[in-house]
Structure formats: structure tokens, C-alpha cells
């Protein structure tokens, strides 16, 4: 019981003493005297720790005061240095203004000259960057760059030799723009392989190699590259002939926009060929082409058949005996086989014979007519389908690239062109073939009418 009371008394002591004397209270007091001794020891220890903290605070305060004094001294020194520098800056500014005034007075009218010189050098640098002549004479731009930098610094004036060189470069640019010269330089092929080749420069317009291939100049790295896609037509042959010609005149396709980047040649190269345009029609275009080929074959076949039949009919007209190898002969044979038949029955028999010959003469003409009507509809179908695809792409990717949008619309219209290309000749061929057939049928009607008339007169006589 007593032991429990001592424990309760220990826990009833104030919070500060209990916290400070935690290591001592870890021992269990067995009596009030022991508890008092433990509390006394904890109080003595707290006093020692408080004094130590006080000494550290006093020491830190002294250090802070020293640092404050040092900062004040540094601030005073920097303010003094700032005043000195400000005074020196004002003096230097006065000297610069005076020197500038003296320079302006000494330059006099040369200031306007150097201004024009700087402007001319800037324009010349821009021309040299895109000029094909720089391929033959590299390094011209470096001189112009250094000269412009010198004149822009206003620390050193250009020398007479540098001014004369600007005049020389201008004169050389004009002279070389009217010459056709051959020289050797590095050329990068379409496959990325670099080699030394002989190239021909036509003024500032075009560059071609010995194989007649057009070259493209890249101002960024000063390199020559073979165009991945060469212009079609006779241009390649002309370029090769020019490259092989040592002197004299030779035909050549010159790009007039060469000095400004060769936009015309680029447009020719980017223009799709007939085969590429045909492929742009897609499946509908292939179907229209197949239908067009079929109509051509049918038309040629019927023209050949009707031409042969026409020759046989003409031969039959000159013969007095009916032959079975032509339509007129088969009609006339009806009269030869029935000479005593009455006129009404003979007329019916001849009409029947002509009706039998009509399908043979007009065979496949309706098919040509159908193809002529369906081909434009197929073209319209392909156009509508292509426009739907184009507008779907615009919906997804936006209309930020007008060139791509125009290309899609152009491809969609290819099927309409194909449909008209098929329909127009088919209509003409149908008219021509139908005319040949009607001509033969007209001969049959004419001869049958004549036979009936003769037969009727004979029976009446």
C-alpha cells in the first residue's frame, strides 16, 4: 500500500520537473527521502543546462554583431566603389561622345558612301546565298559577312581593296549570269551517294550533270543534289545534249525563275503525269477505263464487221445471182425461191427476211449507247466519293493546308474527266457504227421494195 502511494506521489510532481528529470525518474523511489533527492538532482541538472544555453546565446549574439559590423563595412566600401565607377562611367561617356563627334566630322560625306556600301553588301549577301554561281565560286559570302560585320561595328573602316572587291563580285555575278560553263564539283545522287561530277551551269537558271539530270542547289549547306523526280518530256534529252556539247548551240529547257528559287521547274516536277492522274481515280477510275476499253473494242469490231458486210452488199448489187454470204443476198434469195408468190405474201416474206437481218447488223449498238450514258454517271460517282473522303480528312485534320485540300479535290475530279473521255468517243462511235448499219438496212429496204414492184408489174402484165 505504501509503495503504491509513493508511485502516485512521483506522478503528481509538476510537468516541467518530470520532463527535465526523466532519466532520474526512470529509477523507482522507495521513500520520500529518495524522491526528494531525485527531484533535487534534476533541478541542479536543469540549472546547468539553462546556463549552457545562455552562454551559447551570448556567444551567438556576439558573432551576429561582428557579422553586422562586417556587412556595414562592406556596404560602405561598395557605395564608395559605386560612386567611383559612376564617375568613371560619366567620364567615359563624355570621351565616347567626343570621339563620335570627331569621327563624324572626319568622315564627312563618306558617311553616306559607307551607308550605301553597307546596303549594297547586304543585298549582295542575299543574292550570293541563293545564286548558282556560288557553287562554282564558294566562299564569296564569307568575305561579305566579314565586311558587313566590320562596317556595322563602326570601329574600323573598309579598305580600298575591300570596296574594289565588292565591285568585282558584282561585276562577276553579272558576267557569269550570261555564261554557260562546265566545271567539276561534288554532287549528291538521289540515293544519297556523294561523288565528283562534271556539271554544266546555265547562267543563274539551271544546273545539269553529264547524264542530263537536273540538279538542285541547297543554300543552307551549299550542296548540289540530283532531283529525285526529273521533268518529263524532251527536257532530259536536251539537258544531256547540252552536257555533251563542247561548243555551239543546243536546245535546252531553261527555268526562267531559277535565280529566285526555281519555282517553275518545281511546279513542273510536282505536276502529276497522265499515269499518276489516272491512278488518282482509284477503283471507280479503273472501272471507267475498263468500260471505255470495252466500248472501243465493240466499236472497232462492229466497224470491221459492217465494213466487210458493206463490201459484200455492194458486190451483191453488181451480181444477178443471190449469194448467201451477205444480208442482201439472203433477202434476194427469198424472191428467187418463191417466183410465183403473190405480191402481198412476197412483201411479208421479204419484210421477215429483213427483220432477221436487222439484229445481226445492229448487234451491240445498244451496249455502246448504254456505255455512253453510264460512263459520265460513273465519273460523277467517283467525284462524289472523292469529295466525301476529302471533306472527312478536312474534318479530322483541319483545312490548314490548302495545297493538300486542293490536291484531294483535284483527284476527285479525275473520275469525272475519265467518264467524259469515255462517253464522248463512245457517242461518236455509236453514231458512226449505227450509220453504217442503217445504210445497209436502207439498201435492203430499197431492194426489197424494188423486187415487190417488179414482181407486181410482172403479174399485172
Average pLDDT (35-46) is: 72
The mean pLDDT of 283-292, rounded to a whole number, is 92
| pLDDT above 90: percentage of residues in the chain | 17
Rounded Cα distance between 148 and 145, Å, is 5
Q: How do strand 223-226 and strand 194-202 relate by DSSP bridges?
A: unpaired
What is the average pLDDT across 63-77?
A: 87
- The band of 401, judged by pLDDT with boundaries at 50, 70 and 90, is low
| The pLDDT value given to residue 369 | 92
Q: CA distances (Å), 428 to each of 306, 374, 376, in order?
A: 16, 15, 15
Closest CA to 181 of 196, 197, 203: 203
Residue 272 has pLDDT above 60, yes or no: yes
Whether residue 418 has pLDDT greater than 80: yes
Q: What number is the average pLDDT over the span 385-395?
A: 81
Confidence of residue 324 (pLDDT cuts 50, 70, 90): confident
- Tell me the per-residue pLDDT of 430-450, one tens digit each, with 9 for 90 and over: 999 999 999 999 988 888 888
pLDDT of residue 25: 43
Instruction: Quote the distance between the C-alpha of residue 299 and its chain's center.
Output: 43
Q: What are the pLDDT digits (tens) for 150-179?
A: 777 655 677 788 888 888 888 888 888 888
Does 21 have pLDDT greater than 50? no
β-strands 180-188, 194-202: how paired? antiparallel
In this predicted structure, what is the pLDDT of residue 258? 73
- The H or E element containing residue 296 is helix 282-317
pLDDT tens sequence across 76-128? 899 999 999 999 999 999 988 888 777 777 666 666 667 777 788 888 888 88
Q: What is the pTM of this model?
A: 0.54
Task: For residues 163 and 153, give the distance between their C-alpha atoms in angstroms, rounded to a whole number.
Answer: 17
Backbone angles phi, psi at 362, to 5 degrees: -100, 20
- Please tell me the distance from the alpha carbon of residue 258 to that of residue 180, in angstroms, as a whole number: 14
What pLDDT, on a 0 to 100 scale, did the predictor assign at position 253?
Answer: 79
Over 80: is that where the pLDDT of 334 sits?
yes
Whether pLDDT at 2 is above 70 = no
Say how far apart CA 227 and CA 204 lie, in whole Å. 17
- Check residue 18 and give its pLDDT: 41
Buried-state track 236-254, b at ≥16 Cβ within 10 A, e below 16 = bebbbebbeeeeeeeebbe
- For 402, the 3-state DSSP assignment is helix
Domain boundaries, the chain: 2-76, 114-246+259-270, 280-460
| Average pLDDT estimate for 58-74 | 85
- Exposed/middle/buried for 116, CB within 10 Å: 0-12, 13-18, 19+? exposed
Alpha carbon 323 to chain centroid, angstroms: 69
Q: Are the C-beta atoms of residues 210 and 236 closer than 8 Å to each other?
A: no
Average pLDDT, the chain: 80
pLDDT of residue 376: 93
- Does residue 14 carry a pLDDT above 60? no
Packed helices 282-317 and 327-337: angle between N→C axes, nearest 10 degrees: 40
* Residues in CB range of 79: below 8 A, 6 or more apart: none
| Nearby residues of 409 by Cβ (< 8 Å), 6 or more positions away | 386, 387, 390
How high is the pLDDT of residue 12? 40
The whole-number pLDDT of residue 8 equals: 41
**Residue 212 belongs to what H/E stretch?**
none
pLDDT of residue 26: 43
pLDDT of residue 1: 41
How confident is the model over 46-75, as a mean pLDDT? Answer: 84
Place of cell 443471190: 322
Q: What is the pLDDT of residue 3?
A: 42
39: which strand partners? none
Dihedral over Cα of 389, 392, 396, 398: its sign: positive
The pLDDT value recorded for residue 328 is 86
Amino acid at each position: 500500500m505504501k509503495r503504491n502511494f509513493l508511485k502516485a506521489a512521483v506522478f503528481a510532481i509538476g510537468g516541467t520537473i518530470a520532463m527535465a528529470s526523466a532519466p532520474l525518474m526512470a529509477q523507482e523511489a522507495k521513500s520520500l527521502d529518495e524522491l526528494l533527492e531525485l527531484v533535487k538532482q534534476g533541478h541542479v541538472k536543469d540549472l546547468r543546462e539553462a546556463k549552457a544555453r545562455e552562454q551559447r546565446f551570448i556567444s551567438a549574439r556576439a558573432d551576429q554583431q561582428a557579422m553586422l559590423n562586417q556587412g556595414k563595412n562592406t556596404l560602405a566600401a561598395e557605395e564608395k566603389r559605386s560612386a567611383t565607377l559612376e564617375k568613371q562611367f560619366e567620364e567615359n561617356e563624355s570621351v565616347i561622345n567626343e570621339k563620335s563627334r570627331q569621327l563624324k566630322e572626319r568622315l564627312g560625306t563618306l558617311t553616306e558612301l559607307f551607308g550605301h556600301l553597307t546596303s549594297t553588301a547586304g543585298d549582295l549577301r542575299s543574292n550570293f546565298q541563293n545564286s548558282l554561281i556560288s557553287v562554282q565560286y564558294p566562299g564569296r559570302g564569307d568575305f561579305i559577312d566579314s565586311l558587313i560585320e566590320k562596317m556595322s561595328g563602326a570601329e574600323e573602316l573598309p579598305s580600298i581593296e575591300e570596296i574594289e572587291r565588292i565591285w568585282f563580285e558584282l561585276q562577276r555575278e553579272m558576267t557569269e549570269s550570261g555564261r554557260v560553263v562546265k566545271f567539276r564539283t561534288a554532287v549528291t545522287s538521289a540515293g544519297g551517294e556523294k561523288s565528283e561530277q562534271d556539271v554544266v551551269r546555265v547562267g543563274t537558271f539551271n544546273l545539269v550533270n553529264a547524264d542530263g539530270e537536273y540538279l538542285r542547289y541547297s543554300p543552307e549547306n551549299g550542296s548540289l543534289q540530283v532531283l529525285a523526280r526529273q521533268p518529263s518530256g524532251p527536257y532530259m534529252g536536251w539537258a544531256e545534249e547540252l552536257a555533251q556539247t563542247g561548243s555551239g548551240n543546243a536546245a535546252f529547257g531553261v527555268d526562267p525563275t531559277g535565280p529566285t528559287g526555281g519555282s517553275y521547274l518545281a511546279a513542273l516536277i510536282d505536276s502529276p503525269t497522265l499515269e499518276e492522274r489516272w491512278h488518282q481515280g482509284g477503283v471507280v477510275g479503273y472501272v471507267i477505263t475498263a468500260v471505255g476499253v470495252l466500248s472501243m473494242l465493240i466499236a472497232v469490231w462492229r466497224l470491221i464487221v459492217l465494213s466487210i458486210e458493206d463490201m459484200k452488199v455492194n458486190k451483191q448489187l453488181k451480181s444477178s445471182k443471190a449469194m448467201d454470204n451477205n444480208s442482201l443476198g439472203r433477202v434476194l434469195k427469198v424472191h428467187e425461191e418463191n417466183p410465183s408468190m403473190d405480191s402481198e405474201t412476197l412483201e411479208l416474206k421479204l419484210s421477215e427476211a429483213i427483220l432477221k437481218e436487222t439484229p445481226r447488223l445492229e448487234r451491240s449498238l445498244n451496249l455502246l449507247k448504254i456505255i455512253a450514258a453510264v460512263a459520265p454517271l460513273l465519273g460523277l460517282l467517283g467525284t462524289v466519293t472523292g469529295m466525301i473522303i476529302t471533306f472527312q480528312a478536312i474534318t479530322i485534320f483541319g483545312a490548314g493546308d490548302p495545297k493538300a485540300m486542293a490536291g484531294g479535290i483535284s483527284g476527285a475530279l479525275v473520275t469525272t474527266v475519265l467518264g467524259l473521255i469515255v462517253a464522248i468517243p463512245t457517242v461518236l462511235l455509236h453514231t458512226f457504227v449505227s450509220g453504217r448499219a442503217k445504210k445497209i438496212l436502207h439498201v435492203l429496204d430499197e431492194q426489197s421494195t424494188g423486187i415487190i414492184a417488179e414482181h407486181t408489174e410482172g403479174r399485172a402484165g
